[in-house]
Structure 1
Amino acid sequence: MTVLFDTHRGLLEEALRALETRGFWTPFPEVPSGKIYGESARDEGQTAFDSSIGNPFELPEHPGANSVGAEASPWGFDLGITYPAADVSDLVAASQAAAPAWVEAGPKAWVGVCLEILTRLNRMSFQMGHAVMHTSGQAFPMAFQAGGPHAQDRGLEAVAMAWSEMVRVPETAIWEKPQGKGSPLVLEKHWQIMPRGLSLIIGCNTFPNWNSYPGLFASLATGNTLIVKPHPSAILPLALTVRVAREVLTEAGYPADTVLLAPDATGAEITQNLVRDPAVRIIDYTGSNVFGEWVRSHAGADTQVYTEETGVNSIVIAATDDFAGMCANIAFSLSLYSGQMCTAPQNIFIPRAGIDTDEGQKSFDEVAQGISAAVDALLSDPMRASGVCGTLANPATAERVANAHALGRVIRESHALDEGRSASPLILAVEAGETDAFENECFGPISFIVAVDDAKAGVAVAADLAQHKGAITAALYDTDEDRISDAAAAFARAGVNLSINLTGNIYVNQSAAFSDFHVTGANPAGNASLTDAAFVANRFRVVMWRRPRAA
């Protein structure tokens, strides 16, 4: 059935063009405006979210003799939602039973279903925004974007890349080999895309949709069945996603169990059992490198594992021709979602002798104080502070901030905000070579301003950390083109993407679908890149049948 593919063919073609040109493009507007999504969309999204509070989550005909659910909003209340829970064996059996019909459907059906799911998810972005806000602790505008349009962009990007890779091989061909004076050898050849098998998506707490959608849609678009395993603290966003997927599958005539939800409870997680199950052939994981290493070690020998893991992101400040703009940009990057983004900077390397700026020579302490003052200015209004910082998704992050003061000289003290479980950025100054505190990820609103001999030394340390500990982003401020060129080469060798002299409304934390590759797969922060061809191509295989044909 190709009805859905034909319906969304234009969307797919636009996405394919965007992948080729790498300019700005999105079909899913990021602004939560009634003029875009409908004047009633905001109220309907709020109502839909409110109606889910305290009730069982409906997933018609989904396996599950039990129920789980203990989500608590970091903004200060329990969600009280319960979800159908099944044993691993029952989930795997249901997924395997659904596989033959889904495999037989073929690439156009797979891609068409995915495009319809994404289109429907976009229409419910307000509801999804509230779901993400109250499971991950982001302020609503960010939750709307990260849980809605930006996640949908990344999902669509994966679908388009998958289609591009699947159609590289024609469905049929006539192979003709000359035989001298005799008749040529002629074969009729047919190729078929065959999915790898059952795909496991392991969601995270902070960005349940944004981090899960690439793998989820890459696997579904290449014909694999899915088991979606949310983080116990952030089930609702992925449960909504699974429900929409099952609705589309059912309406299109395919088994709903092609996509399954695998919720569990903290202390009684089923993730390890799923990872070890021999039926699982693909795993997408986002989270700590400790559990990432466990996943890689315990997955089956024939299981393809894609990971995004922890890292240490750095900024090197060598010089700037816009000191105020630089400080404001860094302040926002440190404050956004309280440093809980995988792209958030942690270390800021500054020559201990200071830097040249448009305001004259600035000492190390003057640069540090400039950044601190910019954070204070950004967060001076309580409402804006809450909107920028959001809350802390995990209570352990608050404990980490409280315990971090001894790691360096306090440049800026962290303060609780007016709403929810929160902490503003803690900024510490340290000397490179005198402590290794900054060499490991301190997840949350904790940053180190690190004194180094000079800009070259700062680049060397930051690149070395990226290469050996992992990093997803790096940033540089400099006015010397030779140093900039050397730094770009150093960070490229370390396998980390670099941003240079950001002073406006674009930040090192941000990654744009259809243009930026998120993670490179070239350092320990992850072995996959969102979204390159390698991320989708190993989720399927090409098989052939052939027979002689008369010349």
Structure 2
Amino acid sequence: MFWDRHLPTLNAAGAALLAREFWTPYPEVPSGKIYGETARDDGLASYQALLNKPFDIADHPETARIGTEISPYGDALGITYPAAEPQVLIDAANKIADAFAASDVKIRIGALLETLARLNAQSFLMGNAVMNTTGQAFPMAFQAGGPHAQDRALEAVAAAWAEMQRFPAQAIWEKPQGKQAPLRLEKHWTLIPSGLSLAIGCNTFPTWNSFPGIFASLATGNPVIIKPHPSAVLPLALAVKTLREVFIEAGLAADAVLLAVDLVDAPIADKLATHSDIKLIDYTGSNTFGDWLRGNAVQAKLFTEEAGINTITIAGTDNFLAMADNLAFALSLYSGQMCTAPQNIYIPEGGIETDEGHKSFDDVAKGLADAIDRLVADPARAAAICGAIANPATLSRVEKARSLGRIIRDSAPLDYKNSATPLLIAIEAGDEATTHEWFGPIMFIIPAKDGDVAIQTASGLARKKGAITAALYDTNEPRIQRAAIAFARAGVNLSVNLTGNIFVNQSAAFSDFHVTGANPAGNACLTDTAFVASRFHHAMWRRPVTE
């Protein structure tokens, strides 16, 4: 049923993966003409109806009720979720694991595609849930939490389907033996899922970062236990509820998808991650817990996205104003609380050549500051771009950063709680502060001897400490080509001379490989072959062919 309904979408997704061109079945514009004239109001009403109540997930294992979410915009959500001890969840997943592994692949894939269609229809509800748990402004919460996360999930499903179909399920093997009769065997291959999967969500992008691993594991037959960040449970709880409802309709076990809720001061991720039955772990978060997982969750295959230091190198430009405006948006978006947000900005100490003539180091720095000021001058626009700060520790980090160098542009709150515009600090090259991540609206402007040295410094830092994105502005084509090689060798995706409405922060499903897996910022890529093919194995049985 679901397979036939969504096969055209799956085929189109597979074609998009190979073409790497723009394609999406899930419109990113929160328009009533697309989602229904009442969709916005209905989504808000549905979100408000969930507040201050138990969140119901039918037949989900439950030994307690937990819920501590407080919106960065100020209000407690008051929602409690079904919670259970790690072993209870493990037992529930194990109970259905064999049947789920043996289920028809088309039934699983069809159910996942139906789930995405239903989640897409709920995008306004999801947008409100993401906004009020992460602090993203609604336009970003709708897009990143809804259609863009759905794109990434579909991308993973399509890639998994392609990998599972790459080789035949059976074959006749015949080996010539000269004058003797050939050896003939019939061979059969079964796809064997790796085992129970654990998805550890993050506070800032609970669906966008988690959906690829969740949907890749489910597509390949692995039950998934989803452990949201305690501050951002609702978006993933909505996904769990929808998945379980669709699975039941498809004849699959609902307990193939389980929610693991915990408290900040009573975490359970460590207990789940080190359980001998957990074989796959998808994790987005700090290097500290990433290192802990590598040292302790030795029984599992890890797929990680961790902290990195993203850089901008400004060596020259033929459109200074457009460059500054583009970077102002990139630096302000969600107050720098993105894994793709730039931090270190390298500028030649002698300045750069531009369409407006030569500009000194300070001229370039001031141009960036002025562009940010223009961007956030209108309060409504600033709120729609900057959003709110998800974690109070980020505001403390901004305060600490003020003492690290010369303030080019000071951070300031907007006219609502938990907000901060970008802080630009001029700091000396080689300062220790520039060699680790300062998560949030904190950017360092750093002098370099020249453009080549800036590129070498930025790419070298990525190689040692990790980076997901890098940006370069330059008019010297040979140097641009040298930079492309340097950043590729450092395992970083490079954007060159971006202006207009495309920004270094953005990563497009079906086209961009998000995180290369080739530096310390993450060992996995969304979504390459290894991301999906590592979740299952081929087991063979064979016997002689009898005439």
Instruction: Determine if contact 1:107/1:193 at 8 Å carries over to the other structure.
Output: no
Give, in whole Å, the separation in 1 of the partners of 2:292 and 2:546.
55
Mapped contact 1:208–1:230 kept (Cα < 8 A): yes
The 8 Å contact of residues 106 and 223 in structure 1, kept in 2 or not, is answered as no
Aligned residue runs from structure 1 range 416-455, under 5 A: 416-433=413-430, 435-455=431-451
Write out aligned runs for 1:477-492 (5 A): 477-492=473-488
- What does residue 364 of structure 1 align with? 361
Match for residue 393 of structure 1 among 377, 390, 393: 390
Structure 1 residue 113 displacement after superposition: 1.5
Tell me how far 1:420 sits from its aligned partner.
Answer: 2.8
- Structure 1 residue 351 and structure 2 residue 348: aligned? yes
Equivalent residue for 1:23, pick from 21, 24, 33: 21
Is 283-292 or 3-12 further displaced after alignment? 3-12
Counterpart code for 1:180: G
Partners of 1:313 and 1:346 within 8 A in 2: yes
Deviation at 1:545, TM superposition (A): 1.4
Q: How far apart, in 2, do the equivalents of 1:422 and 1:172 lie? A: 59
Unaligned stretches of 5+ residues in structure 1: none
Q: Distance in 1 between matches of 2:118 and 2:173?
A: 43
Cα deviation, 1:496-515, whole Å, max 9, x if unaligned, reads 01000001110000000000
> Is 1:408 matched up with 2:405?
yes
Q: Distance in 2 between matches of 1:393 and 1:51?
A: 23
Q: CA deviation at 1:183?
A: 2.8
Aligned to 1:295: 293
User: By how many angstroms is 1:550 displaced?
Assistant: 2.6
Specify the code of the residue in structure 2 equivalent to 1:507. Answer: F
Equivalent residues in 2 for 1:142-157, closer than 5 Å: 142-157=140-155
Q: 1:460 deviation in Å? A: 1.0
Residue 106 of structure 1 and its aligned partner are, at CA, apart by: 3.0
Matched, 1:323 2:351: no
Cα distance between partner residues in 2 of 1:214 and 1:223: 14
| AA matched with 1:103 | A
CA separation in 1, counterparts of 2:282 and 2:248? 25
Partners of 1:310 and 1:492 in 2: how far apart?
18
Structure-1 separation of matches of 2:398 and 2:183:
73
Q: Distance in 2 between matches of 1:49 and 1:285?
A: 27
- More displaced 10-residue stretch of structure 1: 25-34 or 39-48: 39-48
Give the drift of 1:296.
Answer: 1.2
One-letter identity of the residue aligned with 1:25? W
Residue 186 of structure 1, CA deviation: 1.9
Contact 1:309/1:525 (8 A) holds in 2? yes
Deviations 1:152-181 (A, max 9, x none): 000000001111111111111112222333
8 A Cα contact 1:474 1:497, kept in partner:
yes
Where does residue 201 of structure 1 map in the other structure?
199
* 1:80 counterpart SS class: coil
| Among 430, 437, 452, the residue aligned to 1:456 | 452
Aligned 1:84-123 pairs, distance under 5 A? 84-123=82-121
Q: Per-residue CA shift, 1:117-148, capped at 9, x if unaligned?
A: 11111110000000000000001010000110
Instruction: Establish whether residue 500 from structure 1 lines up as the match of residue 496 from structure 2.
Output: yes
Unaligned runs of 5+ in 2: none
Aligned length: 547
SS of 1:208's equivalent?
coil
Instruction: Select between 171-180 and 329-338 the one with higher mean Cα deviation.
Output: 171-180
330, 333, 350: which one aligns with 1:333: 330
TM-score, reference length from structure 1 = 0.98
User: Which of 529, 536, 541 is the aligned partner of 1:540?
Assistant: 536
Cα deviation code 1:7-46 (max 9, x no counterpart): 2111110000000100000000000011111112112111
Residue of structure 2 in register with 1:236 after alignment = 234
Partner residue in 1 for 2:132 = 134
Q: What is the CA distance between 1:337 and its match in structure 2?
A: 0.1
Residue 518 of structure 2: aligned partner? 522
Corresponding letter in the other structure for 1:401: V
Shift in Å, 1:54: 0.2
Following superposition, the deviation at residue 184 of structure 1 comes to: 2.4
Percent identity of equivalent pairs:
61
Superposition CA RMSD, Å: 0.9
**Distance in 2 between the 1:267 and 1:489 partners?**
45
Alpha-carbon distance in structure 2 between the residues aligned to 1:89 and 1:65: 12
Distance across 1 between alignment mates of 2:428 and 2:484: 24
**SS state at 1:498 partner:** strand
Task: List per-residue Cα deviations over 1:172-201 (Å, max 9, x = no partner).
Answer: 111222233333222221111110000000
Q: What is the CA distance between 1:300 and its match in structure 2?
A: 3.0
Measured in 2, the distance between the counterparts of 1:177 and 1:115 equals 42
Query: Equivalents in 2 of 1:475, 1:300: separation in Å?
Result: 36
Q: Are 2:260 and 1:262 aligned? A: yes
Q: 2:546 aligns with which of 540, 544, 550?
A: 550
Q: Is the 8 A contact 1:131 1:236 kept in 2?
A: yes
Match of 1:273 in 2: 271
Matched letter for residue 234 of structure 2: L
Q: Do 1:113 and 1:249's aligned partners in 2 also have CA atoms closer than 8 Å?
A: yes
